Every structure is written in structure tokens, then in C-alpha cells.
């Protein structure tokens, strides 16, 4: 999906105040549902391979999708736990939802999971809300609204760091999905400081809080619902997300997989990071045209 100048201009002037308030309230409601399972018990099933899904995923999903459909009946919805009927492909506005990102962390009871609600307009992420049920922390951001978080009832404005030396940057990496290629990239970038976190949304949240500067995921594992809310949040905070070759990530596509991985940074040296990461990806046999593997 390619946007013309006029469409991009219209997106930049969107007033998403109502949508951001609604999505934030909805994420808190879903967090209450998830926490009832978190402090109790939740049956675990497996969708495919070792990809788990719990009662918490399904219950939160039903609540979110039902409320979104009622509030914005003309919009499309893409959610990880709902059957995709592709009606969304005819819509210019699509809500993209992960009702429980970091299910493995939920099962491990380490708190590093989140609820993510994003909105894409003409394929561009424009709004993102990320709620961490275990702590009550909520991130929110949108075009024209900036980015902020609520912690213990206090609203705190968010902005990425201005760190402009790659070796001084802090890398945030996955707790459950460590890859050899990430270690190679880290060594090539001369990065010595690292934080570990679960959910993609929480990783990106660390970048918006200047607790990390970049996140690299050079695999095809992420789907649109993993990325839409985090990208909208990060961009609202002044950061940048692309695939591993520096291409923009487009949303509301038939194939929801991010085949070329992703790079999220504070935006200062994004292109230089892309140059290193893309080269190493190609050394590992990954191809940006055909997708990974």
C-alpha cells in the first residue's frame, strides 16, 4: 500500500483524541480481565508448534473486539485471537490488536506481558496503547498527541534519548527468544550494555523512557499485531521503526507477517544501524525480497 502526498498530509493532521482516550480505557478494562487469570489460574493450549494461548488471551480479546466494534462500527479489526475474514482489507482505518503480547511471560508469571491496541490509517500506524497488567503501567501515543505513560496515577510525557554514539547505546533484547544473530549484531555495533524484557510493547516502551535506545528483531516471527501499537507509540515519542533493510512497515496487508524483521531505535543513527544489521542478515542467508528463511 503506497500513500500519496495528500493522504500522508491528511494523516498528519488527524485528531485522534477520542480514539486515544477510548483505547486507553479499553486497555485498562482488558487488564482487569487478564489479571483475574494472572492471580488465579489459566488453561494453556497451543495453536501451532510451541505458540501458547490462554483463557486470558481469549477473554481479553473478546472484550476488546466487542467494544471496538460497537464504538467504531465502520472500522476494520485485525486481532491475533480472532479469525481473519479479510473484510478489513476494504477499510482505510483498522484497529490492530494483541490482547496478550508475551503469553510465555504470562505463563511464567514474570509480569513482562502486555495488552496492545493500535490503529492504522491507510497502512500507517497512527495510534498505540500498551498496558502492562501486572504493574498497571500504561503507555499511549498518537499522531498529534505525543507520547506519555501513566504510572501510579501520574501522567509522564515521553521522548526518546538523543544518544548519538552507537557503542554507548543500550540494546533491549528478548527474554524468551534469544538468537545467535543478535549476539553477532551486538558485537558488530560494539554495544556493551543490554536490558532484557518480554513483550515487544514493553521493549519499545523502554526506548520511549530513555531506558534503552534500540531493539533489533531479525526474524519473521513478528506479526502486525506485535508491531502496530509499539510503532505508533515510538514514533509519537520521536523514535523510528523500519524493517531490517530500512523499509517502512506497512499495515493491514493480507500477509500479516513482518518477513524482514524490525529495527526500533531512538532515530538518531537509525540508518547506520540498518546498514550493519542488513549486512549481517545477508551474511546469515536472509533475503529481504523473499522474506526470511
Q: How many domains does the chain have?
A: 2
258-274: per-residue pLDDT in tens?
Answer: 999 999 999 999 999 99
Question: How far apart are the C-alpha atoms of 66 and 87, rounded to whole Å?
Answer: 16
Examine the domain organization and report whether 152 and 170 are in the same domain. Answer: no
Examine the domain organization and report whether 241 and 150 are in the same domain. Answer: no
Examine the domain organization and report whether 173 and 270 are in the same domain. Answer: yes
Q: Examine the fold and report which residue of 158, 190, 224 is the final residue of a domain before the chain moves on.
A: 158
Residue 51's pLDDT band (boundaries 50, 70, 90)? confident
Query: What's the pLDDT score for residue 4?
Result: 55
Examine the domain organization and report whether 130 and 197 are in the same domain. Answer: no
Examine the domain organization and report whether 110 and 145 are in the same domain. Answer: yes
Which CATH number fits the domain that encloses residue 223? 3.40.190.80
Query: What's the pLDDT score for residue 208?
Result: 98
Query: What's the pLDDT score for residue 41?
Result: 64
Query: What's the pLDDT score for residue 293?
Result: 33
219 class by beta-carbon count within 10 Å (0-12 exposed, 13-18 middle, 19+ buried): buried
- State how far the alpha carbon of 174 is from the alpha carbons of 23, 204, 211, 293, in Å: 26, 11, 15, 20
In-domain check, residue 291: no
Does the pLDDT value for residue 247 go beyond 60? yes
Query: What's the pLDDT score for residue 35?
Result: 95
Examine the domain organization and report whether 75 and 153 are in the same domain. Answer: yes
3-state secondary structure (DSSP) of residue 12: helix
Query: What's the pLDDT score for residue 49?
Result: 61
In-domain check, residue 144: yes
Question: How far apart are the C-alpha atoms of 227 and 221, rounded to whole Å?
Answer: 11
The closest alpha carbon to 232, from 113, 34, 92, 95, belongs to 95
Residue 282's pLDDT band (boundaries 50, 70, 90)? very high
In-domain check, residue 289: no
Which CATH number fits the domain that encloses residue 101? 3.30.540.10
Examine the domain organization and report whether 191 and 115 are in the same domain. Answer: no
Does the pLDDT value for residue 291 go beyond 60? no
In-domain check, residue 276: yes
Question: How far apart are the C-alpha atoms of 74 and 177, rounded to whole Å?
Answer: 37
In-domain check, residue 106: yes
Examine the domain organization and report whether 253 and 220 are in the same domain. Answer: yes
In-domain check, residue 271: yes
Residue 104's pLDDT band (boundaries 50, 70, 90)? confident
The contacts of residue 3 (CB under 8 Å, 6+ apart) are 11, 122, 123, 124
Examine the domain organization and report whether 205 and 85 are in the same domain. Answer: no
Examine the domain organization and report whether 24 and 144 are in the same domain. Answer: yes
179-234: per-residue pLDDT in tens?
Answer: 789 999 999 999 999 999 989 999 999 999 999 999 999 988 899 999 999 999 99
Domain residue limits at 171? 166-283
Question: How far apart are the C-alpha atoms of 73 and 206, rounded to whole Å?
Answer: 33
> Percent of the chain at pLDDT above 70?
93
Examine the domain organization and report whether 48 and 96 are in the same domain. Answer: yes
Q: Examine the fold and report which residue of 136, 158, 180 is the final residue of a domain before the chain moves on.
A: 158
Q: Examine the fold and report which residue of 158, 180, 207 is the final residue of a domain before the chain moves on.
A: 158
Amino acid at each position: 500500500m503506497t500513500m500519496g502526498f495528500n493522504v500522508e498530509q491528511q494523516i498528519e493532521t488527524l485528531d485522534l483524541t477520542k480514539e486515544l482516550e477510548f483505547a486507553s480505557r479499553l486497555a485498562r478494562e482488558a487488564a482487569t480481565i487478564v489479571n483475574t487469570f494472572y492471580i488465579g489460574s489459566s488453561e494453556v493450549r497451543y495453536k501451532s508448534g510451541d505458540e501458547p494461548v490462554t483463557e486470558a488471551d481469549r477473554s481479553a480479546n473478546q472484550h476488546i473486539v466487542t467494544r471496538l466494534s460497537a464504538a467504531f462500527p465502520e472500522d476494520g479489526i485485525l486481532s491475533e485471537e480472532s479469525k481473519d475474514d479479510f473484510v478489513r482489507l476494504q477499510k482505510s482505518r483498522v484497529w490492530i490488536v494483541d490482547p496478550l503480547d508475551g503469553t510465555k511471560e504470562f505463563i511464567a508469571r514474570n509480569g513482562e506481558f502486555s495488552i496492545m491496541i493500535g490503529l492504522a490509517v491507510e497502512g500507517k500506524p497512527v495510534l498505540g496503547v500498551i498496558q502492562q497488567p501486572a504493574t498497571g503501567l500504561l503507555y499511549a501515543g498518537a499522531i498529534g498527541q505525543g507520547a506519555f505513560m501513566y504510572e501510579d496515577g501520574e501522567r509522564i510525557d515521553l521522548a526518546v534519548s538523543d544518544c548519538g554514539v552507537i557503542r554507548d547505546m543500550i540494546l533491549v533484547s528478548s527474554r524468551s527468544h534469544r538468537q545467535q544473530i543478535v549476539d553477532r549484531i551486538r558485537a558488530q555495533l560494539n554495544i556493551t550494555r543490554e536490558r532484557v524484557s518480554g513483550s515487544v510493547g514493553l521493549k519499545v516502551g523502554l526506548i520511549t523512557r530513555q531506558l534503552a535506545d534500540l531493539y533489533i528483531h531479525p526474524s519473521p516471527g513478528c506479526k502486525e499485531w506485535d508491531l502496530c501499537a509499539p510503532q505508533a507509540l515510538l514514533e509519537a515519542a520521536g523514535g523510528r521503526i523500519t524493517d531490517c533493510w530500512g523499509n517502512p512497515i506497512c499495515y493491514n496487508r493480507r500477509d500479516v507477517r513482518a518477513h524482514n524483521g524490525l529495527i526500533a531505535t531512538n532515530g538518531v543513527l537509525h540508518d547506520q544501524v540498518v546498514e550493519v544489521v542488513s549486512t549481517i542478515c545477508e551474511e546469515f542467508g536472509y533475503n529481504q525480497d523473499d522474506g526470511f528463511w
